[in-house]
Amino acid sequence: MRESLSAGRFCYVVELVASRLTREARLLEVASKLAQVPGVVAGSITSYAGGALGHDPVRVGTAARARGLTPNIHLTCVGRERAAAWKTLEDLHALGIENVLALTGDYPKAAGIKPPEELFDLDSVQLVHLINEARQRGMPFWISVAVSPFKYTEADCAYQYLKLEKKIAAGADCVITQLGYDSRKFRELKRYLDEKSIRVPVLGNVYVLGGKAAEKMSNGEPPGCWVAPELLEKIHTEIQVPDAGLAARLERAARMVAVLRGLGYAGAYLGGDHQADRVRWIIKRSEALAPRWEEFAEELNYAPKNSFYFVGSPTAPLKKRGVVPRFLDALGGMFPVNKDGELRKFLVSLFRWVDKKPVLSRGLERFEFAIKSPLFGCQTCGNCVLGQMEYVCPQTCPKNMRNGPCGGTKNGQCEVVDKPCIWTAVFERAKSANRLEGLKVYIPPPIRALKGTSSWVNYFLSRDSRPGNVTGGLILLGVPSPRANSGRGECGAAAEKLPAPDYEVPITKSDADRR
């Protein structure tokens, strides 16, 4: 992936869903055939797809590589503590696997609702930081990250892009989009990055959409995937023919690839159908269709009514910040305890003294909890970042995210519980206070050992993990850092024989030129 993308060649990554429903031997047979398809640079091996445990992606990836297909291993944060994530990175390095896709991961369906830190120790930005640390220790990973431009409220959409910037600053090399059928959104993402001079290759997701998958996605399953009623209706019509809609869906996929090329994407991420002959057909057909990409972009317009777009949509009016945030802002202005001075010196001495008295220190923790629990839903994590999150507690996010929402939000609603996504409030408060830039600050993972202790004491004694006092990552694993962390700143379908394309592949401008 690194070589092809660095050389500016338009390339293809094909998703291999390593779910329990697919026999591993079958997956590997597919991998052998995909390895023979020109333009396919990697097979992307899923992990925990749809929130269900599948085959071990490292094992499948290793076997796929032995069959000639470069693996891109999905590394999620689900049920994986940072030490386990590090161990997986070491294993991948030992196996000579470089390509990883760092993801938050779908909420595990079988888990029920658990305390967030039991399922998610890291979020995807923190995971990218960890992989970047591994890279600084000589493990040459090529890090891909995900983004969903297909968000149709201002807060959901803006936060996706904002979080993407954080991932790139943390060390991401390549971006892969969520699936969607709206060329305006594909265009919007590209434009957003271009305007900010962010030069990372972006692969657009092209999901070969069949009837069953379309049904599920139209109901928001899996979270983050969405199909418009108009597209679902079209697919229902398409599947009424003898090939059950195969030719129509492959044609749609080829047109989408042509659109992505036209928009300057670095490649396509093909999902929904991994059969080599079909992938080959899509590639050839898309090349033939390349000159007509603008016409297809017009057709690819499945979006909800009154959707938000960065360009052309009015932004929502500013919301009132509420009494508590305004009060706390004023308090912070009057007593700037985060700045060096007499007040801070006094508080440091006071909390140092309190810390030496176990009864007092426990009493203080209970007092802090009694104030913060009703106000913020505090769960005494001991590493308070309310100040960086507009007074919204990250522990109230079922996935324990500290750096922005996952990709599962839908119109401001959480994918896990029937509540608004906490990140909508963070965004709206920051926007009202003109502090959106502040949301780009990286928030490190909390030190779990501090759970149940007073975050006030931890803050003044500088032993917590927060922006400006980064003690996350390897230091927590007991691995000394050689240098500071620099960062830098499913669905099968009936197998029919496909007709050979009856057209010539036009040779126009090179992909690099186009980009």
- Return the number of the residue (66 or 113) whose C-beta is nearest ligand SF4: 113
Burial 283-299 (b: 16+ CB within 10 A, else e): bbbbbbbbeebeebbee
x-or-dash pattern for ligand SF4, window 419-458, by CB under 6 A? ------------------------------------x---
- Return the number of the residue (261 or 321) whose C-beta is nearest ligand SF4: 321
Taking the complex as a whole, the smallest distance from the CB of residue 378 to ligand SF4 amounts, in Å, to 3
Is 80 near ligand SF4 (CB under 6 A)? no
Nearest to 107 by CA among 72, 150, 76, 131: 76
- Return the number of the residue (65 or 466) whose C-beta is nearest ligand SF4: 466
- Return the number of the residue (253 or 439) whose C-beta is nearest ligand SF4: 439
- Return the number of the residue (297 or 385) whose C-beta is nearest ligand SF4: 385
The answer to whether 12 touches 40, Cβ cutoff 8 Å, is yes
Angle at 400 between CA 410 and CA 86, to 5 degrees: 120
Contacts (Cβ under 8 Å, ≥6 apart) of 334: none
The answer to whether 33 touches 93, Cβ cutoff 8 Å, is no
Taking the complex as a whole, the smallest distance from the CB of residue 398 to ligand SF4 amounts, in Å, to 14
Segment 354 to 393, residues that bind ligand SF4, using CB under 6 A: 372, 376, 378-381, 384-386, 393
Taking the complex as a whole, the smallest distance from the CB of residue 459 to ligand SF4 amounts, in Å, to 9
Tokens of 221: 């399953």
DSSP state of 404: S
The answer to whether 457 touches 361, Cβ cutoff 8 Å, is yes
Is 270 near ligand SF4 (CB under 6 A)? no
- Return the number of the residue (287 or 365) whose C-beta is nearest ligand SF4: 365
Taking the complex as a whole, the smallest distance from the CB of residue 467 to ligand SF4 amounts, in Å, to 13
- Return the number of the residue (76 or 458) whose C-beta is nearest ligand SF4: 458
Beta bridge partners of 43: 14, 71
d(CA 265, CA 128): 22
Segment 455 to 484, residues that bind ligand SF4, using CB under 6 A: 455
Q: How many CB atoms lie within 10 A of CB 312?
A: 8
- Return the number of the residue (45 or 385) whose C-beta is nearest ligand SF4: 385
Positive or negative, the Cα torsion across 283, 288, 290, 295? Answer: negative
Q: How many CB atoms lie within 10 A of CB 57?
A: 28
Name which position in 395, 424, 432, 485 contacts ligand SF4 (CB under 6 A): 395
Q: Tell me how many residues contact ligand SF4 (CB under 6 A).
A: 13
d(CA 180, CA 151): 10
The answer to whether 163 touches 155, Cβ cutoff 8 Å, is no
Taking the complex as a whole, the smallest distance from the CB of residue 443 to ligand SF4 amounts, in Å, to 10
The answer to whether 251 touches 285, Cβ cutoff 8 Å, is yes
- Return the number of the residue (300 or 364) whose C-beta is nearest ligand SF4: 364
SS3 label, residue 206:
strand
Return the residue matching tokens 């409220």.
153
Beta bridge partners of 469: 466
Taking the complex as a whole, the smallest distance from the CB of residue 389 to ligand SF4 amounts, in Å, to 8
Q: Is the peptide bond before 222 cis (omega within 30 degrees of 0)?
A: yes
Taking the complex as a whole, the smallest distance from the CB of residue 397 to ligand SF4 amounts, in Å, to 10
Taking the complex as a whole, the smallest distance from the CB of residue 396 to ligand SF4 amounts, in Å, to 7
Taking the complex as a whole, the smallest distance from the CB of residue 381 to ligand SF4 amounts, in Å, to 3
Residues near ligand SF4 (CB under 6 A) are 372, 376, 378-381, 384-386, 393-395, 455
